[in-house]
Amino acid sequence: MRLPEHLQASLAAAQEQRLRGYRGRFAPSPTGELHRGNLRTALLSWLAARRRRGEWLLRIDDLDTPRNRAGAEEAILADLLWLGLDWDGPVLRQSRRRGIYASVLSALRRAGLLYPCRCSRRLLADISAPHGGLNVYPGFCREGPHAWGPEQGRLPSWRLRLPPGNLHWREGSSCGGWLDGATAVGDGVLRRADGVVAYHLATAVDELWLGISDVVRGEDLWSSTGAQVAVMQAVGAEPPAYTHVPLWRDANGERLSKRDRSEGLTGLRRGGRDAAAVIGELAASLNLVPAGSRLSARELLASLPAEGPLLPPPQQALRQPPTPGRQQAEV
What are the structural domain ranges in the chain? Answer: 5-329
Listing from the earlier edge strand, what are the strands of the sheet with 114-117?
Answer: 114-117, 157-160, 189-191
Who has greater pLDDT, 285 or 317? 285
Q: What is the DSSP string of 110-138?
A: HTT-EEEE---HHHHHHTB-TTSPBPPP-
Banded model confidence at residue 7, pLDDT cuts 50, 70, 90: very high
Packing angle of the helix pair 98-110, 199-209 (nearest 10 deg):
100
| Gap between the Cα atoms of 239 and 227, Å rounded | 11
How many beta carbons lie within 10 A of that of residue 78, not counting itself? 12
- Judged by average pLDDT, the poorest of 60-64, 77-81, 191-195, 248-252 is 248-252
Active site residue 122: no
pLDDT tens by residue, 37-70 = 999 999 999 999 999 999 999 999 999 999 999 9
Nearest to 16 by CA among 213, 243, 242, 236: 213
Residue 273 buriedness (CB in 10 A; 0-12 / 13-18 / 19+): middle
User: What is the average pLDDT score of the chain?
Assistant: 88
Catalytic: which of 36, 50, 217, 258?
A: 258
Closest CA to 257 of 52, 38, 44: 38
8 Å CB contact between 62 and 68:
yes
Would you state the CATH architecture of domain 5-329? Answer: 3-Layer(aba) Sandwich (3.40)
Give CA separation, 157 vs 92, 266, 325, in Å: 26, 39, 17
